Structure 1
Amino acid sequence: MLIDHQHKFIFIHIGKTGGTSIEQVLCDYLNIDFAKTELNPEGEWWKHAWAGDMKKYVGEQTWHDYFTFAFTRHPFDMILSLYSMYTQYPEYTNPEVHLDLYHPWNQYENFEDFILSMGECRHEPNEKWRFQLDQLGVQGIMNTWYTIENLQTSYLTNSWKGKQNGKGEILVDFVGRYENLTEDFHKVCQIVGLPKLDLIHHGATKHKNYRELYTKKMKEIVYNHSSLDIERFNYSVE
């Protein structure tokens, strides 16, 4: 999450949508401490603060006066990227490296096993997904964000788990797409009065195109989990 009072914009950072790259290039250009994207002035963690929470934090008038934006990503691709990140970096799989970020991702045989497990625990977490949040703190809670149905709709409509049938008002002025990241980010730059800044991809993971990995059953599970996101943001299920 990033606020710039000079150019009057607020960026809502949904995880795995290119947000770290956006924050980094904006911080570098505007000479903003990147750490300020992690914590608010009170020291509370807000890197992935929801739009509704940020609106309450800054107040109705500021939210109205500032240009607000966010980016979304196809849920099929987002979940693959998340799985790849959590299995490729040791801080997510080894509790001795960083307990606060630990989750037993290495219990899954592969991506398909992860998705099938996700389907099993849609309403009640199975053993592979269950761990003690009170021991993990806020980062541990963030490690469970993939369990939130229709996450991106929830982030941007202030409707927990995409309630209101996805018809809640989108709270930000502009929603770009990860699939069109550079062009949509340049639109943002133009709107807020910045030059077309070049993005450098931070936090990228190595993985195949999601279309090569999803079976019919896997697509069904993720669609059931994220149908409002897919429909509201016009993503294909093919």
Structure 2
Amino acid sequence: MILSNRYNFLYVHIAKTGGTSVRAALRRLQWKDPYYLAQFICSRLSHMTGHRIAAKLPRHAKIICAQEMLPKEFFDGLFKFAFVRNPWDLQVSSYHHLKRERPHLLAGHESFEAFTRWKLDPQRPYQYHLDTSITLQTDYLIDLHGRILTDFIGRYETLHEDFAHICKIIGVPPIELPHKRQATDRKKDYRSYYSDDLAELVGKHFARDIELLGYRFDPV
């Protein structure tokens, strides 16, 4: 999550939706923020204390976290945005990310189908990186009453166009998005990873995302 006082925006970073590229592009704006030094110091202090002082908004914090921590008038006046992604494609991206960065988490479940079924098993013990990857994207966007709090929801599928629109709204020249964390070992078409029943299983788990965000297994 990135908060900018100078440009009056709040970016809600949902994992595996192009957020690393968005953060890299927005970083240059952070340096111009009058509160950047204070934010940086608080972030370092939070890290040094094992995040026990509640002095920062975590990278993948949900928007309700910012709503609770910030003054109401200030929060309401922010331009709040996030990016989302087709849930079936997101799970393929998550699989390759964990396979590359934390391969020990795949132990005994090396194939995409076996790993995804295991992740979605409600009897599986909690594991932060696994559970974060199957958290509903809409959970990051809503308040306690289920109301969407973001002003704009961009899409990974139109990442560059939507980010250009965001730059226009916050009043900055268009910023080129860098290419970050692109997997080289995955197939381009996410649908090739799925059997019919696995696609249905993922669809059931992410039913609210699919309904509210308008996704489907076969893109239009």
Between the aligned partners of 1:118 and 1:29, the Cα distance in structure 2 is 37
Query: Are 1:114 and 2:115 an aligned pair?
Result: yes
The offset of 1:195, in angstroms, is 0.9
Task: Number of aligned residue pairs: give it.
Answer: 201
Between the aligned partners of 1:203 and 1:59, the Cα distance in structure 2 is 35
- The list of structure 1 runs, each at least 4 consecutive aligned residues, that deviate by more than 3 angstroms after superposition, is 39-42
Between the aligned partners of 1:233 and 1:40, the Cα distance in structure 2 is 32
Query: Are 1:212 and 2:213 an aligned pair?
Result: no
SS in structure 1 of the partner of residue 83 of structure 2: strand
- Matched residue type, 1:54: A
Between the aligned partners of 2:98 and 2:179, the Cα distance in structure 1 is 17
Identity percentage of aligned residues? 30
Query: Are 1:202 and 2:187 an aligned pair?
Result: no
After TM superposition, the score normalised by the length of structure 1 is 0.77
Structure 2, unmatched stretches of 5+, are: 52-56
Asked whether the 8 Å contact 1:115–1:221 carries over to 2, the reply is no
RMSD: 2.2
Aligned partner of 1:69 in structure 2 is 81
SS in structure 1 of the partner of residue 206 of structure 2: helix
Asked whether the 8 Å contact 1:2–1:10 carries over to 2, the reply is yes
Query: Are 1:46 and 2:58 an aligned pair?
Result: yes
Between the aligned partners of 2:29 and 2:80, the Cα distance in structure 1 is 19
Aligned partner of 2:96 in structure 1 is 84
SS in structure 1 of the partner of residue 58 of structure 2: coil
Between the aligned partners of 1:54 and 1:232, the Cα distance in structure 2 is 22
Question: What do the CA deviations read for 1:146-203 (whole angstroms, capped 9, x no partner)?
Answer: 343xx111111135xxxx7xxx210111110011100001110000001110001212
SS in structure 2 of the partner of residue 10 of structure 1: strand
SS in structure 2 of the partner of residue 55 of structure 1: helix
Between the aligned partners of 2:7 and 2:110, the Cα distance in structure 1 is 47
Structure 1, unmatched stretches of 5+, are: 95-103, 132-139
Between the aligned partners of 1:147 and 1:178, the Cα distance in structure 2 is 17
Aligned partner of 1:57 in structure 2 is 69
After TM superposition, the score normalised by the length of structure 2 is 0.83
Question: What do the CA deviations read for 1:81-122 (whole angstroms, capped 9, x no partner)?
Answer: 011001022xx135xxxxxxxxx2132131011123234x1x
Between the aligned partners of 2:142 and 2:94, the Cα distance in structure 1 is 22
The offset of 1:73, in angstroms, is 0.5
- Matched residue type, 1:183: E
